[in-house]
Amino acid sequence: MKTLGIAIVLALATQSMGCGSSDSPSQVTASRFALVANHGSDNVSVYAIDPTTGALAPVAGSPFSAGRLPRCVAVTPSGSFAYVANAGIDTQPGGVSIFAVNPTSGALTPVGGSLMAAGERPWVVAVHTSGRFVYVASGLDSSPRNGDLRAFAVDRATGALTPAGSPFSLGKAPYSVAVHPSGMFAYVLSNGEVSTYSINSTTGALSQIGGSPVQSGSGSDTASLAIHPSGAYAYVANEFDGSISMFSVDKTTGALSHLAGSPLPAGTFPNSVAIHPSGAFALVSDFWDNDVQVYSINRSTGALAAVTSSNLGGAYYPHWLAVSSTGAFAYVANYPRLGSGNVSAYTVDGATGSLTPVSGSPFGSPLAAEAEPDSIALAP
């Protein structure tokens, strides 16, 4: 099950993450489109978000063809470009798909004539907060070689990528990449550890900081990473541990330190964590329990406290979790072991964090044309 890969999508006001984190504009722009990477059908679905109800409707032309086994999707802060990490298989190598996003319709147009090479089995993609750089982590549990982390510079006019710096060696299973809200640091989850890198603001190149990596949970596989909008805290979902690790973040060095009470028990198989843009709540999907849990966040200490579990139905093997930039809505990509999968939508109570299903949820095609939704990202 761990080969599903994990990725988070945070609200754009913090750092949107679709398996990897994306970026945060200086002003909050309402999320208008939801992009879903469909692992089982080699394409990306795009939905328009109703700004009043949060309901989803497929845009014309959706789903759009991607590479082989798309695992993760991330979007630039402007919403102009989308990047998809395609893991590939032995007979069909993976790579990064680059798309221009139509600002009116949400339709995707491929950029370049082929996939961008990004190591063996590209697994996670994240966009820098400035939108100027993209980071791709590659590698699988089953691979005989370790994975790696690569930096790319973004052509702001076309979205094309150019390598920026040498790749860093990672463990065999990098599952999540997040960029700090300041844009100064990048974090990578791999083999139960969190590695921290400083980011060159001019080139986007990476340098691993001293004391990195740090262990998360009991050393079992980690699933996803979310950073608080303040940049002061970080949270890691430990799938096989059934826990959430809580960290303080040194805003000067980027270093992580476990908070008191970390790790916190969190259901059977927590695999995606997203922070509400208010910074008051953390939402956690639990794959085996078909549940979305809500935790309050102590602003002074960063500690989590359970508030409620949704148990609302409609979340069937919930995988990635996304919160809209305004905090009004939450979306869950459901990745069933059998069947096509879909996206559950909820309204979020800004005072309590409680979730209520959006009318018509879950959304998606019952056909195999959109199979196994693996990751979700929101675009302005």
pLDDT at 142: 54
pLDDT at 187: 95
pLDDT at 16: 35
Q: How far apart are CA 369 and CA 88, in angstroms?
A: 18
pLDDT tens digits along 196-221 = 999 999 999 999 999 999 988 765 56
At 62, the pLDDT band (50, 70, 90 cuts) reads very high
pLDDT at 188: 92
Backbone φ, ψ for residue 169 (5° rounding): -75, 135
Q: Is the pLDDT of residue 1 over 60?
A: no
Q: Is 317 left (phi over 0), alpha (psi -120 to 50) or beta?
A: left
pLDDT at 20: 56
DSSP 130-184: TSSEEEEEE--TT-SS--EEEEEEE-TTT--EEE-SPPEE--S-EEEEEE-TTSS
Contact 11, 323 (CB under 8 A): yes
Of all residues in the chain, what percent are helix, strand and coil, respectively (each to 5)?
Answer: 0, 45, 50
At 319, the pLDDT band (50, 70, 90 cuts) reads confident
Give me the mean pLDDT over the 321-333 stretch: 93
At 369, the pLDDT band (50, 70, 90 cuts) reads low
pLDDT at 313: 53
Domains of the chain: 2-379 (2.130.10.10)
Q: How far apart are CA 31 and CA 55, in angstroms?
A: 12
DSSP 89-115: ETTEEEEEEEEEE-TTT--EEE-SSSP
pLDDT at 368: 58
Query: How large a percentage of the chain has pLDDT more than 70?
Result: 83
Q: Which residues neighbour 151 within 8 Å (Cβ) at sequence distance 6 or greater?
A: 133, 134, 135, 163, 164, 165, 204, 205, 206
Backbone φ, ψ for residue 22 (5° rounding): -105, -140
Q: Is the pLDDT of residue 9 over 90?
A: no
Q: Is the pLDDT of residue 70 over 50?
A: yes
Q: Is the pLDDT of residue 33 over 60?
A: yes
Helix and strand numbers, DSSP H then E, in the chain? 0, 32
pLDDT tens digits along 103-144 = 999 999 999 878 999 988 898 999 999 999 999 999 865 555
Amino acid identity of 275?
A: I
> Cα 171–24–139 angle (5° rounding)?
15
> Which 8-state DSSP code applies to residue 124?
E
Contact 156, 183 (CB under 8 A): no
Q: How many residues does the chain have?
A: 380
pLDDT at 5: 32
Among 26-30, 118-122, 176-180, 192-196, the least confident range: 26-30
Q: How far apart are CA 343 and CA 56, in angstroms?
A: 9
pLDDT tens digits along 262-315 = 999 888 888 889 999 999 999 998 877 778 889 999 999 999 999 865 555 555
DSSP bridge pairs for 133: 153
pLDDT at 365: 66
Mean pLDDT of the chain: 85
DSSP bridge pairs for 34: 47, 378
Rg of the chain on CA atoms, in Å: 18
